Amino acid sequence: MTDLSLLKDHLHTIYSENPFATLLQMEIVELEAGKATLSMPIKNKHTNFYNSAHGGALAALADTAMGMACTTTGKMVVTLDMNLNYIRDIPCQEALTAVGLVLHNGSRTMVATTDIFNNTHQLVVSARATFFVTGTFF
């Protein structure tokens, strides 16, 4: 088994047991080196007063996708800053897909982006974040 496949197995385990990811119903779709694809449904518990996806739930999905993309490089990270652009309304019952990509893989910091798409493949959120490297896996 390669280091990447060991890391993928480890990430699947820790995220499937993570209470926050479980609460929001985030699921790993695909992992590659420097890339993570996640999904999340928009249910009533994800919505704001207007029955649209809450910005905080979308920020959590974006942050998780970017952070997981960073961890596919074997590094443990925490978010230093994050910027999101909310592009279109997301009604309840949509299914979202987030694609996180590493742009910069430094020894102390990393930069990643996430684009989140609705179930008709329209871009609904675009995000960028800087992460601090706290260590490595294994």
- Asked if the model's pLDDT at residue 1 lies above 60, the reply is no
Give the neighbor-by-neighbor strand order of the sheet with 123-136.
27-32, 35-41, 95-105, 109-117, 123-136, 75-86
- Asked if the model's pLDDT at residue 8 lies above 70, the reply is yes
Q: What is the DSSP letter of 53?
A: B
Helix (H) or strand (E) segment spanning residue 3:
helix 3-16
Contact between 78 and 97 (Cβ < 8 Å): no
- Asked if the model's pLDDT at residue 2 lies above 60, the reply is no
CATH architecture of the domain 3-136 equals Roll (3.10)
What is the C-alpha to C-alpha distance for residues 115 and 72, in angstroms, rounded to an integer? 17
14 compared with 58, residue with greater pLDDT: 58
Q: Which of 103, 80, 122 is nearest to 114 (CA)?
A: 103
User: In the chain, what are the domain boundaries?
Assistant: 3-136
Q: Calculate the alpha carbon distances from 97 to 1, 18, 75, 118 in Å.
A: 28, 19, 23, 7
The pLDDT of residue 105: 98
- Asked if the model's pLDDT at residue 84 lies above 90, the reply is yes
Query: Strands, DSSP E only, in the chain?
Result: 27-32, 35-41, 75-86, 95-105, 109-117, 123-136
Q: What is the pTM of this model?
A: 0.95
The pLDDT of residue 137: 86
* pLDDT tens digit sequence for 33-71: 999 999 999 999 999 999 999 999 999 999 999 999 999
Q: Which amino acid is at 68?
A: M
Q: What SS3 class is residue 85?
A: strand
9 compared with 82, residue with greater pLDDT: 82
* pLDDT tens digit sequence for 88-133: 999 999 999 999 999 999 999 999 999 999 999 999 999 999 999 9
